Amino acid sequence: MNAEAGAAASPERLARAYLLRAAEPPAPALVRFVAEHGPVDAAARVRRGDTPPPVTSETAARRELDLARRDLAAGAEQGARLVTPEDDDWPAWPLLTLDVASGRGVRGTAPPLALWVRGTASLDTAVEHAVAIVGARAATDYGEHTAAEFAHGLAESGAVVFSGAAYGIDGAAHRGALASRGTTVAVLGCGLDVGYPAGHVGLLNRVARQGAVVSEYPPGTPPARHRFLVRNRLIAALTAGTVVVEAGRRSGARNTATTAGALGKVVMAVPGPVGSALSVGCHELIRDARATLVASVPDVAESVGPLGNGLAARGGTVRRATDGLDPESLRVYEALDTRGARTPEVVATEAGVELSRVRAVLPALELDGLARRSDSGWCRTGEDGRAAAGPG
Amino acid sequence: MNAEAGAAASPERLARAYLLRAAEPPAPALVRFVAEHGPVDAAARVRRGDTPPPVTSETAARRELDLARRDLAAGAEQGARLVTPEDDDWPAWPLLTLDVASGRGVRGTAPPLALWVRGTASLDTAVEHAVAIVGARAATDYGEHTAAEFAHGLAESGAVVFSGAAYGIDGAAHRGALASRGTTVAVLGCGLDVGYPAGHVGLLNRVARQGAVVSEYPPGTPPARHRFLVRNRLIAALTAGTVVVEAGRRSGARNTATTAGALGKVVMAVPGPVGSALSVGCHELIRDARATLVASVPDVAESVGPLGNGLAARGGTVRRATDGLDPESLRVYEALDTRGARTPEVVATEAGVELSRVRAVLPALELDGLARRSDSGWCRTGEDGRAAAGPG
């Protein structure tokens, strides 16, 4: 998409690329500091150590390491882009739940300073109908089959399946979504270029082609257990709900579920045979009323609700307001913003659609209730009025 | 036990034996009438048709049929006794829930006028720690295995397992309890002497030897579907809670669960594979919060509560060496290598933790046995050999 070689990058982008390396996420003090001073000023202060003690403590070990230009160049080379809060496709709404939880003092829920993204999907669109499917790495055939079936059905009904690209349930979920030609997003606990897990490099390439691979970790960051736990908050935050398919008594998937619950998201769990150690975690979540039992795709749709505008109750099929749009109209629609108005010229550039076509498509979108005209241009009304809705 | 030949029977016993035949249960008007006038006077009035219209309506078809002496004699011959509210072993307390529900107008919940009992167990003792296990007749191997396991475990821990002696889950529950040398009670929807279901005559004899077979239907009463539904209220009432093991979307077991819920008893359901039609009913009960998910005997004990005095809580929990670590220490730990030593400076950069903190944390990790100091720096000692394992 954007050519983001270090040389061409805006000061904000360079600052955030630097800040992503300056502190190990989640870095609540640094995030607050950036919100207060803006990324450019914040980065300058961090660089010279001119920060309040909590920020200093988070950044002391790495503040002298400025690889921003190198990271942006490497990312561009690898087909990855840095999406920042200053960008139009920053998934601001869903990530707001992290701001809220972090502000309430829920540990480890500070939002990311920016996200590395590789793939064809636009993040802010992907999160509109997003469901996470997570679970054990050492899954059973039953678990993998169920994860793939659920992902296939959800993707087929228009949802975007988020997961963590791990072996077992995660991989099965991505594969199920890919098989239905749907969109799927993998959120990693390492750099996008690290190729982890090794056996899923091909899968991650397919995910990027049909969706996106996302990480807050700079290129080259190795995987680590704490990073997977930290990553889990992003999976929870970026989706309307999390489905746990197979989880042992102690499992990272349960951590995602717990975080999703703390963020006010819908937590769901798939039951299994009572003799299976891999279903113990799911059964405990359900038994303790920390998760809703889901035994089918319609169950998930019913539980997630808001996502399920069109997702009918049990047995139904999903419809989106944008379902009837031809690819060109969809691109124009996607190029609109929900918050501010844009001129047809800007939309044309953003969508990569000829200006004359944009001028023809916009009134059609308006008739469909998908776009609104104002004095300063056009904006997206959101399908089904989600534009004005709170975080999911 | 008591020699109950018709000749020796008390007037109350004779009256109740007569009344049990006079109306098809449940007979709410007759039950109220008996409570008001006592069984002897009530029986006399029913016999001569001197009753208010609701009672007349319930008894009109059969009031002229007085087989009380013959029934008591036949029962005695078959090893069955009639237990009445006038007897010491009448399970008054659990059956009170039927009075309450019936009084509130819950249909079909009138208490029984008396109960025919065959077996060694005393009813009022059996109900003290009673759990019902019910489910589909066309059960899967998984369901039967689970029912038997649960019944075995519950009986072993001192509970009495109630069920309906049907094929499938019911039979497996009785067998599981018998196998643990525990007490089990079968409540039938036909006369005790009818030998139904035919394939379970041997099982019922064993249940009688190690517990009791119970019915409110007089000798010779044939089975009928409506009688099984009516019988279900007794299973629900006589136990502290009902466990449903496998139930299709429409199933008698769900009827028992619904009744148990209406009586204020604990309703539990066992999950199963999401693809199994025989688990659909259980999953719906759990999903709709009409049943608690139970995946083990301790789960049942915990749900039923009062019954579970001796029943242990959930199985042990696994502890990891790193469990007690705060996030910062965990990051330092993760930044260590199992193979080579690293300097505190390298660890600080890798972990994103201030050097001074790293210097403080490392000796603490050493005390916990998680880190080892060497000439060239620090390395990880590994937790229970998981050191080389992938991230969770």
Tell whether pTM > 0.80: no
Question: If you write DSSP's letter for every residue of B255-311 in order, what string do you get?
Answer: HHHHHHHHTT-EEEEE---TT-GGGHHHHHHHHTTSSEE--SHHHHHHHH-GGGSS-
A123-308 CATH: 3.40.50.450
Q: What's the half-sphere exposure (Cβ side, CA atoms, 13 Å) at A157?
A: 27
| pLDDT per position as a tens digit, B252-303 | 888 889 899 999 999 999 999 999 999 999 999 999 999 999 999 999 999 9
Predicted local distance difference test score (pLDDT) of residue A320: 53
| Phi and psi at residue A90, to the nearest 5° | -70, 125
Residue B250: HSE in the Cβ half-sphere, 13 Å Cα cutoff: 0
Strand arrangement of the beta sheet that strand B115-119 belongs to: B80-83, B115-119, B212-215, B184-187, B160-163, B130-135, B241-245, B266-270, B292-293
Region of A87 (left: φ > 0; alpha: ψ -120 to 50; beta: rest) is beta
**Cα separations in angstroms, B110 against A303, B205, B261, B372:** 38, 29, 15, 73
Residue A7 CA to residue A200 CA, distance in Å, equals 33
**A107 interfaces chain B, CB cutoff of 8 Å:** yes
Q: What is the pLDDT of residue A64?
A: 92
Question: Would you state the CATH architecture of domain B327-388?
Answer: Orthogonal Bundle (1.10)
Is A321-388 CATH 1.10.645.10?
no
Interface check A292 vs B, CB under 8 A: yes
Query: Cβ(B178)–Cβ(B151) under 8 Å?
Result: no
| A window 156-215, beta carbon within 8 A of B | 189, 197
Q: Is B362 left (phi over 0), alpha (psi -120 to 50) or beta?
A: alpha
ipTM of the complex: 0.76
Contact B327/A23, CB-based, under 8 Å? no
Chain A residues in contact with B329 by the CB 8 A cut-off are: none
Question: What is B114-308's CATH topology?
Answer: Rossmann fold (3.40.50)
The partner residue sitting opposite A225, judged by closest CB among B273, B275, B334, is B334
The ranges of chain B with pLDDT < 70 are: 1-7, 306-321, 323, 382-392
CB proximity list for B330: less than 8 A, separation 6 or greater? A225, A226, B322
Domain residue spans in chain A? 6-83+94-119, 123-308, 321-388
Kindly give the parts of chain A with pLDDT less than 70. 1-7, 306-324, 327, 352, 382-392
Chain B residues touching A251 at Cβ < 8 A: 392
Contacts of B303 (CB under 8 A, 6+ apart): B241, B266, B268, B292, B294
Query: What's the pLDDT tens digit per position in B75-106?
Result: 999 999 999 999 999 999 999 999 999 988 88
Q: Do B78 and B192 touch, CB atoms closer than 8 A?
A: yes
Partner A contacted by B154 (CB < 8 A): no
Is-contact B23 B59, C-beta < 8 A? yes
Where is B187: in which H helix or E strand? strand B184-187
> Any CB–CB contact under 8 A between B273 and chain A?
yes
- Judged by CB atoms closer than 8 Å, whether chains meet at A272 and B271 is answered as yes
> Between helices A39-47 and A28-37, what is the axis angle to 10°?
120
Residue A293 has its nearest CB partner, among B273, B287, B334, at B287
Residue A270 has its nearest CB partner, among B274, B299, B358, at: B274
The set of residues, in sequence order, having a beta carbon less than 8 Å from that of B321 and lying 6+ positions away, is B368, B369, B370, B383, B384
Determine contact: B146 vs chain A, CB below 8 A.
yes
Q: How far is A60 from chain B (nearest CA, A)?
A: 5
* pLDDT for res A249: 86
